[in-house]
Amino acid sequence: MSIRTERVASEIKKELATILQKYQKGNIITITNVKMTPDLSLARVNLSVFDPSGGEEATFNHLKEKKVQIRTELASIIRHQVRKIPEIEFYTDDSAEYSMKMETLFRKAKKIQSTQDEGDEQP
């Protein structure tokens, strides 16, 4: 990414974080990454949603439904910084779940390795 796209992505991430706080109702919405297309017409926003009641999918779908309203709010904030307000696409970021799964697998592998090592040491 060019410096301009990185700056715009950073600004959008910062402002969207403020806007998305209004949509947190007992859950946690985190923007993990914003990627801009080279022409700055599209912002791909990766979201991580944590809901203790298990409604991550419902929260994510609600945000997708409110995409036009969120873009309008964003436009009112950054209208003097960009020529054209980018379209917004939300994607789920499951990297936290993936890392937890990998950590579990590593623990299992380490446990299996240690039991095998103990079995090799005994005559």
| CATH number of the domain that residue 85 is part of | 3.30.300.20
What is the CB-side half-sphere exposure of residue 41 using CA atoms within 13 A? 1
Tell me, yes or no, whether 36 and 78 share the same domain.
yes
Residues 44 and 72 in one domain: yes
What is the reported pLDDT for 28? 87
Looking at per-residue pLDDT, the higher value among 75 and 112 belongs to: 75
pLDDT in tens, 9-61: 999 999 999 999 988 888 888 899 999 999 999 999 999 888 888 778 888 88
Looking at the structure, do residues 104 and 55 belong to the same domain, yes or no?
no
**Does one domain contain both 59 and 104?**
no
- Domain span at 75: 3-92
pLDDT per position as a tens digit, 56-107: 888 888 889 999 999 999 999 998 888 899 999 999 887 767 777 888 888 8
Q: Which sign, positive or negative, has the C-alpha torsion 54, 35, 31, 101? A: positive
Tell me what pLDDT residue 123 has: 54
